[in-house]
Structure 1
């Protein structure tokens, strides 16, 4: 979980039915079962082939497991099986592509190296009861959203505020549907939770804490972490005269939860969330997470033991199939590049994987040709880097000429070096946050007042006709990705057509959405000279050589996303 009471900091995720195709049902447990069994994803060699499906189930039984459910869209069987030896045994069958133990695919973690304390840093002013409207018809806290100014979100709203027939899926830790800036746009009917809380994992560790609801399954409008709610508010917080507004305040938010309370994302919930979102006709899916336990999933890394190689190949294939499935059904996929201050085209040695369970990591040399950061390096995903208020790439943000499609405001505490803005909490991104999570972390008291700890951590309260909402300053590529998802939703709102498969909604081919986003972005050339972050207190490892030109480069891709230009773009122009 993210810490509050100091600086709230967030990363990209960091930061993965009975036997039938996945349906809109709640999650099944991911925990040790009888006789020490654990859950596995068993990926078949093909989808839609009854003979392969039968042979795969037979292979699971022969390897000592039992199939409990499946996702037919990607050819994945979910099985309970012994904790050791199962992966290699079941993968020996001709019908099985590979298998992976239920362990994280993604996580929401703190940005590495950002100082958590704000000693001596000016705290944001506290807000009282909101007026009916903020300045120029905006919400009261919109004046604090420097990112809206950078991407012309407020100006775009006068042209296209977002259509209720457009739906954005948030694949994350959940969404707090009780937040007054989330509730007006939250679609409870379509939202699903594909995660079961794990009070104790197969290693005996306390993963998510005590279960709060029956069956350890949180309601679809619940978020213990806060990460998903923050992301959702950036996309589509309501423009209602109170609190703040999102980039696309008129569209609907759909929670497709794939993340544990602890911030980890397991493979099967991620795959299930993606294919479910495609089946119900979501227009955009935001993925602010990066793949764990492997910082990079490699196809055949000599440093990895045989089971680890099989599991990583399985993860690459399963996530790839799910992304292809979603793209083919009209979903624009947006992902954060990650917060490891790394050129994904020339990655450093990986010394942090696997990061689950604890103390399992070992050093690995990473080959960019065969090792992928997922989901952002998966098919059809628009990778987003993070910039600070100055427009410079944030020191923590990953980048890469091949991987970066667009840049967007993600926040950067260290921006403005040499000026009064340096290390100001307002350099971060303000968005919605669950009151319950802030109370649990001591940032808000039982009566609802923001405590001194919360003030130091960048927590605000704003009240209006719908009640009092809470807001937190965070930074990370997790905050940049939903800015692009919001603009993508505006593009579908402006240029989409009625969806014949899902009456009452709009649709637009994702390749066309991507063309509009890339073509309308503000071209931003590589900085000259090379950006060095040493003066801000970073090591030389953070220095970020930028390759490319103003049309496309490793820091900004095709440029900083521009909401106004996107909704006034001619979508038919080649």
Structure 2
């Protein structure tokens, strides 16, 4: 069966004809098809005096245009928090309720789109020292529960002594990791960026695996912070669990990761309150591309919308800004792997959504094909669904013909946790994605001659064909063994990746 997954098309940012959504307008590229209803608007209130965060996208990516955008931000009563001239994206804070419209007017044609990155007030404040925005520089609110959070079981102690824990890693045997390790455990020249909540720097299975020089905190308004402890976990061990699956050391202690020979960078994009706002993700993708990381793992969706709708003027600018960051870093050679999500949702047949925005009052809204779960649904991001120990699609996993690339183990995965520097079980597509990131790291170690696009195609092509099956939820499977809505092009194969 021919692949139905959308491939990357040329991304030209030097012209106005690239379908960017202007404030108050709707672009052709961001529109739903004629057969679909428009998505439900979700107005974002930004009253005078309330600090709000925005992305402002330049119409043309060149230094002169980006400078015009920066000046327009300041003229509209904003502060440039971070500027990414490589992609023509400026992150700004402002207390001016009319900032969105004024920045477009004052830029005199230099701005393609401008929109908010969240529906809530910016309570963490504006980072200091933001008046020199070119390149990396140096309040409390709890996130509401969201359906697409990792469906993780309670963290539980692993049974047996630490040296025996590898025998409990059914997931590694399932995808051929022991066989792959006969060829390579990965190269220390390969770095995996773990875009998540931070990696425990003291864990015995992880301490030797972290590239401290490449690690960064992106939650300071989307501005890179390389302070010594900024990238460490504070309120969540999610990133620590993910990291263990990717690269826990083979050292006679605990578990072993898919690629224990590679290095990992802790790229913190999850705030202490549990949010991954667009500016945080953009910072993470740009950092990975600038540092030449071979692969990133992204076990999240970008808040506050589970699906960002391209036909909505208030959502399309952030969608476009994240897309630019992903595409730029891909062009720099980084392969991005992302979790499909845990809403048991058919990504190829979008109709409604009730979980967004998760930083304010949720809306029961109509959605359509212009609405994207990002980064999972961006072009040539490797999107991963979850399977259980029986090889069936996990009941929580999202699915969709043409939306899933490959599947990997994600139910009851044993990996590293922060508590007592120990090990525990978690479930979710968040746990499936790092298996694929680890396999990509092995492939890039064994075959450094391959570019990012070739790696993506080989991961898809080498996956083990898996026919449709049923799940407890009874969700229909569409397709055949070569590609279907449950497993994409199959279960990822570590052994094939290193041959």
- TM-score, length-scaled by structure 2: 0.80
**Which residue matches 1:488?**
440
Give 1:124 shift. 6.2
In the alignment, is the contact (CA less than 8 A) between 2:282 and 2:322 conserved in 1?
yes
Q: Residue 401 of structure 1 aligns to a residue in which SS?
A: coil
In the alignment, is the contact (CA less than 8 A) between 2:414 and 2:424 conserved in 1?
yes
**Which residue matches 1:525?**
467
**Which residue matches 2:113?**
98
Give 1:197 shift. 9.0
In the alignment, is the contact (CA less than 8 A) between 1:39 and 1:81 conserved in 2?
yes
**Which residue matches 1:336?**
339
- Give me the whole-angstrom Cα distance separating, in 2, the residues matched to 1:315 and 1:294: 11
- Give me the whole-angstrom Cα distance separating, in 2, the residues matched to 1:273 and 1:112: 20
Q: Which residue, out of 197, 201, 221, partners 1:173?
A: 197
Q: Which residue, out of 63, 84, 94, partners 2:76?
A: 63
**Which residue matches 1:259?**
270
- Which consecutive aligned stretches of 4+ in structure 1 deviate over 6 angstroms post-superposition? 104-108, 112-118, 214-217
Show the 5 A alignment for 1:92-491: 92=105, 93=107, 94-103=109-118, 126-128=159-161, 130=162, 134=163, 140-196=164-220, 218-300=229-311, 309-357=312-360, 360-368=361-369, 370-411=370-411, 428-435=412-419, 469-491=421-443
Q: Residue 353 of structure 2 aligns to a residue in which SS?
A: coil
Which runs of 5 or more residues in structure 2 are unaligned?
1-45, 121-142
Total equivalences in the alignment:
428
**Which residue matches 2:102?**
89
In the alignment, is the contact (CA less than 8 A) between 1:197 and 1:217 conserved in 2?
no
Residue 104 to residue 244, structure 1, CA distance change in 2 (3 Å): farther
Which runs of 5 or more residues in structure 1 are unaligned?
1-31, 135-139, 199-213, 301-308, 412-427, 436-447, 449-468, 498-507, 534-541, 569-574
- Give me the whole-angstrom Cα distance separating, in 1, the residues matched to 2:242 and 2:119: 20
- Give me the whole-angstrom Cα distance separating, in 2, the residues matched to 1:261 and 1:83: 27
Question: Per-residue displacement from partner, 1:155-178 (whole Å, max 9, x unpaired)?
Answer: 211111111111100111111111
Residue 104 to residue 291, structure 1, CA distance change in 2 (3 Å): farther
Residue 218 to residue 549, structure 1, CA distance change in 2 (3 Å): same
- Give me the whole-angstrom Cα distance separating, in 1, the residues matched to 2:153 and 2:413: 16
Q: Residue 220 of structure 2 aligns to a residue in which SS?
A: coil
Question: Per-residue displacement from partner, 1:207-228 (whole Å, max 9, x unpaired)?
Answer: xxxxxxx999953334431011
- Give me the whole-angstrom Cα distance separating, in 1, the residues matched to 2:445 and 2:467: 30
In the alignment, is the contact (CA less than 8 A) between 1:108 and 1:227 conserved in 2?
no
- Give me the whole-angstrom Cα distance separating, in 2, the residues matched to 1:376 and 1:267: 14
- TM-score, length-scaled by structure 1: 0.70
Q: Which residue, out of 14, 22, 41, partners 2:55?
A: 41
Higher Cα radius of gyration: 1
- Give me the whole-angstrom Cα distance separating, in 2, the residues matched to 1:87 and 1:361: 23
